[in-house]
Structure 1
């Protein structure tokens, strides 16, 4: 067998960061600001802030087919278009999502892997919902025996939540709730009149810690200054890329901060596929990369490796990183690498029509709605017999617009006059439920089906189980109960199919833990047995909580990067 020809790059970097999304951007920023010469790799094309957002200013009527997706354009994005009625792959944003034929994976059970391969990753397209996890979330595994115990607690990460929130800008309202800790928040966006009405209903009609608040989102508000960014303009075109930097993305925020130090070398079109381990030193020595365009193989050397490629890609890289010491993947003494895959389950909730507010309207396109934090299994009063853990809701109220004319049977002047008036109010909410960490929910390498670069594809074998299904029934029933308590009309509950991956909150596969026999990473996100390799994206998560996880990824990354930088400097001076 002829060995692959691999070019060894002459420079040895202090650190290599794999991935430029939510986690990779933060790793790059913190390492570079600590003085480390850092190579930042992304498997996708370059995307420069502002100049590479092609649809940022296009109005709906200027798109072909008025922004709808022609069926012929879906051939290469069948998986990416399965979510949200295909809205992701419409012309305004389809360029951010992968070609499924070029980047295949294998569904042992139904699984939606929604991806964006470009510099910035999904930080360009994310929903910006930014919630801290609570003391309860970091203690849940130990308390109820599901999974393994987190090696950290809320107080370990709280200062890093502070740092991240102040840098990215998170707007919202502090509530003093134990299940949703207060943060360093800027001015909240305003609830509209119907959202406030439901807020009052929860305050007055329920006695189980049920609270409605405006969403906490990574959008700039208030008077704080953020270099190169300005406040949210309420355009609600976030998924296209924001030229104002109104919401946080790696492209508008962390990567420019890293670049300003002069310590970052950003290399796009670089597919990392193996972290090289030295049997002599017991450490990683660098990363093997395939150039996505030329298919040249290159070995980059560094003292520290940060794997931030996103949960499933990180699992793939670690599983491919085999050696005599680690025949089943780098750091996989526990056998847990690739296992314990989680995602939030949703597609469940309720909607209703609202009367009595016809003389009220709102201005702008607020890129935010309301949030109802977890109110189940908090204490003896709220504990449930049918399921453990809990869920929250995200939702909004709005008025229908001219699009209701589709079903109108009138025409002419009367129709035009009617459509100039705002339509009736409607409200809806969707639940986001916690998924337990199940060992049998896993990913593995398939060497029989290779991708365009000759790399193994992933088999994804995951499903939601009885606890999640019982929880979902309560999620629907309580959404209906809240809307009915408010006196709204035509309340409709729904309980859709729960497909892992659909929430785009994939977590697990390289979990943190106390014991190397049952986990992959230690309390600082280092591989237990290869301490110069850090994993700080969703792969590191030990449980899923029910809050959106991105803020926690960022806080864990900032904490780990500063730990790595301190150790590196100490080694250089000792």
Structure 2
């Protein structure tokens, strides 16, 4: 590529948000440079484990002792990294950060980012969520409401393919869905029990997930879900949405995209004369070469905390404390969702029933607390939802008593009894003293300051956690399940992998970092559209909202660019 070339736009990051920014800007006619700090990953070609089985690995998929050290932070999540997907997670020894308070930062540095490993649960926000800060006097008011974002949710859902069930709930708006996946027999009966035995509006539905389920649907280069449940290895069918299978190819088809991997953006350059950004400074991750790229529009989509770090490093005479930081809000209000709490139980009966395939989805219980006076709870604000699944246990319980012989062979071919498990996801309030800063002493191997996390759960979150476990235990017992076991593991924020905040959206540069169009206050040609812009967290998975805001912001940027508003 020509290092001297000027571009119309630069997109920093290739994950959920970066892929959408690239697609929309390129389709809008802008010559766009897309920069990714990690390595190149090509769709299908670079999914080396996509068809492997457990017996293909010497440790049945578990990491070696050497790898355990490399991924010591990433392993906190529990389900990853494994031998079959470790290449999509960062080596923690090479990418350290400072934990003034524990923060579980789960990352993937490659083209596609965490869109290759995300959970794909896709839920809309409602006006209850956009209006909660103002109503309760928490944080700052969102400058948008559901009506502003609804058409962009439509656009994103129809493009990525989201399967699910419309429910008519005020707290969980309906969407443009592919045919829903099916609940299994235990989940169907649990659904019936919850509806019959609780009168506060709670219900069970299938998860809304970014998987194509309609064989008649047309998605360029993508096919219908094969129910393999090997999603975190990369999907060769493109049935689940990722940047690599969907938005980046769409951007490439326009002929307007230049993609450069191994490009660590560490600063956005600012021109005091024009009061706009002029480009970005980059370190080549492989050669350590420093370079600059120029453009008239910049989309910062590096992932929430990384984007905050870039803004903090983007200092100038006008912004001595970081770009857009007139309010001292930059780096503040870091949030996540509750994780690692819920309940498990054993289920009697249904031994003549099984399920087909490996459904890459579970059931969902939408928020049912603090929606009105009837559902109001004491001790905490906001709410929570649940994700879970029921399945038949494997044959391992037979092994202790049946160690060899004909009977063992017969037993291991039989599925075990049914079990059910649920995880709660609860809202985390935006506190100004939950913040990330640049370390004054610790640097990474490129000489850049490490991020320092000072984030914690507070009283509202701890009280909510108690109710999350209490309510699912009540639902399991009402359904007649046996051996109900609540769990609440000690974790730090971040483990929900829904980290957000730090460059919040608001009405004024005096209280926030970006405006209602995701533009940095007082630097109108810089847009922040990953999770950094979030002013509150809701309790639902946030990626669909990032995509909707990104599409909306890109539309705004293209119109502004063509109107000559950017220098």
Query: TM-score normalised to the size of structure 2?
Result: 0.98
CA distance in 2, matches of 1:568, 1:146: 35
User: For structure 2, which runs of at least 5 residues remain unmatched after alignment?
Assistant: none
SS at match of 2:305: helix
CA distance in 2, matches of 1:403, 1:330: 56
CA distance in 2, matches of 1:306, 1:521: 12
SS at match of 1:67: coil
Aligned counterpart for 2:306 among listed residues 313, 324, 346: 313
**1:131 corresponds to which residue?**
123
Aligned counterpart for 1:414 among listed residues 407, 418, 421: 407
Report the alpha carbon displacement of residue 399 of structure 1 after superposing the two structures with TM.
0.2
Please, which moves more after superposition, 252-261 or 404-413? 404-413
- Residues 232-253 of structure 1 show CA distances to partners (whole Å, capped at 9, x for unaligned) of 1000000000000010000000
Do the aligned residues in 1 keep the contact of 2:17 with 2:301 (CA within 8 Å)? yes
**1:61 corresponds to which residue?**
55
What value does the CA root-mean-square deviation take over the aligned residues?
A: 1.4
**1:374 corresponds to which residue?**
367
Report the alpha carbon displacement of residue 429 of structure 1 after superposing the two structures with TM.
0.7
**1:431 corresponds to which residue?**
424
CA distance in 2, matches of 1:404, 1:265: 54
Equivalent runs, 1:155-166 vs 2, <5 Å: 155-166=147-158
Aligned counterpart for 2:520 among listed residues 527, 542, 546: 527
SS at match of 1:9: coil
**2:387 corresponds to which residue?**
394
CA distance in 1, matches of 2:382, 2:563: 42
2:17 aligned with 1:51, yes or no?
no
CA distance in 1, matches of 2:488, 2:156: 35
- Residues 111-152 of structure 1 show CA distances to partners (whole Å, capped at 9, x for unaligned) of 111011100000000000000011100000001111100010
CA distance in 1, matches of 2:57, 2:388: 28
Aligned counterpart for 1:344 among listed residues 337, 341, 359: 337
Report the alpha carbon displacement of residue 498 of structure 1 after superposing the two structures with TM.
3.7
2:563 aligned with 1:570, yes or no?
yes
Task: Count how many residue pairs are aligned between Structure 1 and Structure 2.
Answer: 566
Aligned counterpart for 1:257 among listed residues 244, 250, 257: 250
**2:504 corresponds to which residue?**
511
**2:533 corresponds to which residue?**
540
- Residues 176-201 of structure 1 show CA distances to partners (whole Å, capped at 9, x for unaligned) of 00111000001000000000010000
Aligned counterpart for 2:108 among listed residues 98, 116, 137: 116
Query: TM-score normalised to the size of structure 1?
Result: 0.97
**2:77 corresponds to which residue?**
83
Report the alpha carbon displacement of residue 447 of structure 1 after superposing the two structures with TM.
3.5
Q: Where do 4+ consecutive residues of structure 1 move more than 6 Å?
A: none
Do the aligned residues in 1 keep the contact of 2:297 with 2:566 (CA within 8 Å)? no
Do the aligned residues in 2 keep the contact of 1:8 with 1:300 (CA within 8 Å)? no
2:136 aligned with 1:147, yes or no?
no
Please, which moves more after superposition, 476-485 or 396-405? 396-405
Change (3 A) 1:63 1:438: same
SS at match of 1:356: coil
Do the aligned residues in 1 keep the contact of 2:525 with 2:566 (CA within 8 Å)? no
**1:216 corresponds to which residue?**
208
Report the alpha carbon displacement of residue 90 of structure 1 after superposing the two structures with TM.
1.6
Change (3 A) 1:8 1:186: closer
